[in-house]
Structure 1
Amino acid sequence: MIAINEELNGSPELLNTDPYGAWIFKLKPSDKAELDKLLDAAGYKAAIGD
Structure 2
Amino acid sequence: MIGNDVSIGSGATILAVSICDGVVIGAGSVVTKSITEKGVWAGNPAKLLRQL
Under a length normalisation based on structure 1, what TM-score does the superposition of the two structures give?
Answer: 0.20
Q: Which has the larger radius of gyration?
A: 1
Under a length normalisation based on structure 2, what TM-score does the superposition of the two structures give?
Answer: 0.19
Please state which structure has a larger fraction of its residues in helix: 1
Relative contact order, higher structure (CA 8 A, sep 6+) = 1
Please state which structure has a larger fraction of its residues in strand: 2
